[in-house]
Amino acid sequence: MKRLESQEDYLEKILQISQKKESVHAIDIAREMNFSKPSVSIAMNKLKELGYIEINDKGDISLTDSGKEIAQKTLEKHIVLTRMLMYLGVDEETASEDACRMEHDISDTTWVLIKKHWDEHK
């Protein structure tokens, strides 16, 4: 099943926030992504239903193993693609925006080869 781009973005953002804060709440995600809290709540319910996150009684959001795997892969793609584009001369903001779009559509085969090339030549 193909995940939606927005699901990957949410999982990536949860991972990023969890690296800075002890606990992640829907309001943190809403602020970071500039989305409304109701929109984030709907998305969190869907991610929970899919088994990518868990939400405890206090509203703390945590990634499941499968959610963390997706988030880490998405974040890695974002970082590497951003750096590659900046290496080519693209400004950081544009590189990050372009990488965000690219990270969701690139095939696993192409990604593995890009990552291998980058690791060997950076």
pLDDT, mean of each 10-residue run, the chain (122 residues): 79 96 94 94 95 95 96 94 94 94 90 91 82
Give the pLDDT confidence score for residue 4 in this predicted structure.
Answer: 83
How far from 70 is each of 15, 65, 74, 75, 92, CA to CA, in Å? 10, 9, 6, 9, 24
pLDDT of 121 reads 87
CATH number for the domain whose boundaries are 70-121? 1.10.60.10
The SS3 assignment for 61 reads strand
Q: What is the pLDDT of residue 3?
A: 64
- Domain parsing of the chain, residue ranges: 5-64, 70-121
For residue 5, what pLDDT is reported?
86
Is the domain spanning 5-64 CATH 1.10.10.10? The answer is yes
Alpha carbon separation from 18 to 12, 58, 62, 73, 115 (Å, rounded): 10, 16, 8, 16, 25
pTM of this structure: 0.88
Please report, to the nearest 10 degrees, the dihedral formed by the alpha carbons of residues 10, 114, 65, 50 taken in order.
50
What is the distance between the alpha carbons of residues 70 and 9, in angstroms, rounded to a whole number?
10
- Residue 1 has what pLDDT? 46
Cβ 14 vs Cβ 53: under 8 Å: yes
